[in-house]
Amino acid sequence: MSDLRNYSRKDFIKTTGALAGGAVLASPYMSKAANLFREKRKMALVGTGVRGISMFGRRVRDIYPDTVDLAAICDINPGRLRYAREYIGGNLPAYTNLEEMLREHKPDTLIVTSRDDVHHEHIITGMKMGCDIITEKPLTIDETRAQQILDAERKYGKKIIVTFNYRYPPYRAKIKELVMEGWVGKPTSVDFHWHIRHSHMMQYMQRWHGHRQFGGSLWVHKSTHHFDMVNWFINSDPVDVYANASLERFGKHGPFRGKNCRNCAFTDQCSYHWNINENTHLKGLYADNEQYDGYIRDNCVFRETIDIFEKHSAIVNYANGAILNYSFTADTEHEGYTLAINGTEGRIEVRAGGWPQKGHEDIIFMPNRRYSDREEQIITVEHGSGGHWGGDPIMNDQLFKDPDRPDPLGQQAGTRDGVMSILIGVAARKSVDSGNLIKIADLIDLTPTADRT
Ligand SMILES: NC(=O)c1ccc[n+]([C@@H]2O[C@H](COP(=O)([O-])OP(=O)(O)OC[C@H]3O[C@@H](n4cnc5c(N)ncnc54)[C@H](O)[C@@H]3O)[C@@H](O)[C@H]2O)c1
């Protein structure tokens, strides 16, 4: 994949030169007098997959034209880049070589939305070339890459923000606030059981996420969100991890297998059959561009090479003495979780998502009567509008509109948050493989702390 030449970059740039001026003149936003005097932050983006072009590409251009100048985009797949450029709009200069893009445009910030296993390369190159970084989760997929990122951050003195959008839904902010206000007292344990729809798990099995070498397994790719939530809620670093996991339905356990889903010989028999060509957007982004890099978006969920897990269970000890009991499974068609934070003075409990669907969450508070004067109560918090229960727009406003806005709950995540959350997953993976308890301090040069403030 990495030997792709700068396929049609020159064509893109040539076209861009002619069209971009027209686009700017035609923009309704530019007619606002205030914008003539406001300094915009210049950003560029690497990784033009579905996440990069929607959450950060098109939305940044559409919603934050007054504060952000999205200057250029990069991906190793020239066909996907071409699709992305059209989808995002603005005739952005497009590159297949990251350094070249950064050299020519000198952005203040690089947005990293590439595949998980190459985040570290893009983060380090970006910082080396003078950029602050906004990166998608997971920060990276193993402890070696994590250490490289930490070392580079120290060397280049740039800022890294990890986009943990799971911290931003209003009801999760409320939980954090309650813990910070001392409703549960000192956190002693957390029960956290997350289940994703079985059809959601199927999508992981179809893509690169099914291979540890690309996504670090779902222990890292997905659970980094969950572990970060716990680390953030209880404000402590993890110390050690013991885990179990298994793969029971997918991969080598399947009854048959084909090359990919859209034209498989077992289409009629397979309950996981999905035809990517029926989705114009995904076809244009992925299936139409396979010839450039061999990235198959609708791989067989029963391919023998899948080496991740579908059922996960871990026990995590924290520096502040709390214990996390965690599981992550996909045995239902409902997506949601139960979370309880227990402390010396009470318990906060939430059953979120799943069924029945509702436009709010109820946070149940139960005091420990021997130690708390508070009353039992249910605190109802409405969901916001926008992705992830209203969390995505709140996070994006902080990233792209008002980076200096007060952050009393510490929602914006940095490198340490990114590292500590992936390391729980990395340690869990190692624990499953070895049967041993894995210590976080053995993986990295950070010392786990009981109070992260
Ligand atoms: N926070 C969330 O809720 C959330 C949701 C979805 C995805 N994500 C994250 O966003 C990122 C992208 O996910 P996606 O679903 O769009 O994946 P994707 O596979 O659709 O896109 C990844 C892109 O990276 C490109 N790429 C791979 N190697 C590259 C390289 N060396 N140089 C440049 N580009 C390269 C691929 O060609 C592809 O276009 C992932 O890190 C994922 O974990 C986060």
Contact residues for 338 (Cβ-Cβ < 8 A; gap 6+): 191, 192, 193, 349, 350, 351, 352
Q: Tell me the helices (H) and strands (E) count for the chain, helix number first.
A: 17, 15
Of residues 139, 152, 221, 132, the one with CA closest to residue 400: 132
Residues 179 and 159 occupy one common structural domain: no
Measure the CA–CA gap between 437 and 227, rounded to whole angstroms: 17
Edge-to-edge strand order for the sheet containing 41-46?
94-95, 68-74, 41-46, 109-112, 132-135, 160-162
pTM for the whole structure = 0.92
Cα separation, 398 vs 406, in Å, equals: 9
The reply to whether 242 and 260 lie within a common domain is: no
Q: Where are the alpha helices (DSSP H) in 27-97?
A: 33-37, 50-51, 59-63, 78-88
CA of 206 to the centre of ligand 1 (A): 14
The Cα 280–Cα 278 span in angstroms is 6
Encode pLDDT of 363-397 as tens digits. Answer: 999 999 999 999 999 999 999 998 888 999 999 99
Q: What is the CATH number of the domain that holds 135?
A: 3.40.50.720
CATH number of the domain to which 385 belongs: 3.30.360.10
User: How many structural domains comprise the chain?
Assistant: 3
85: left (phi over 0), alpha (psi -120 to 50) or beta: alpha
- The continuous run of DSSP H or E covering 334 comes out as none
Assigned domain for 449 exists: no
Q: Do residues 174 and 233 touch, judged by C-beta distance below 8 A?
A: no
Residue 114 lies in a domain: yes
Q: Which of 5, 7, 51 to mutate to test the pocket of ligand 1 (most atoms within 8 A of CB)?
A: 51
Which residues are registered as beta bridge partners of 304? none
- Residue from 77, 136, 394 whose mutation best tests the ligand 1 pocket (most atoms within 8 A of CB): 136
Instruction: Please choose, from the candidates 308, 326, 313, the residue with its C-alpha nearest in 3D space to the C-alpha of residue 191.
Output: 326
Say if 155 falls within a structural domain. Answer: yes
Whether 42 and 153 map to the same domain: the answer is yes
Whether residue 145 is found in the same domain as residue 15: yes
pLDDT of 38: 53
d(CA 240, CA 437): 7
236 in the same domain as 127: no
349 and 218 in a single domain? The answer is: yes
Give the torsion sign (CA, 388, 391, 393, 395).
negative
pLDDT, averaged in runs of 10, over the chain (453 residues): 36 34 29 53 98 96 97 98 98 98 98 98 98 98 98 98 97 98 98 96 97 98 98 98 98 95 95 96 98 96 98 98 98 93 98 86 97 97 91 96 96 98 98 98 97 92
On whether both 161 and 176 belong to a single domain, the answer is no
Q: Are residues 245 and 256 in the same domain?
A: no
* One domain for residues 227 and 90: no
Pocket of ligand 1 (CB under 6 A): 46-52, 74-77, 80, 113-116, 118, 136-137, 163, 165, 221
Query: Which residues constitute the domain of residue 190?
Result: 166-250+307-442
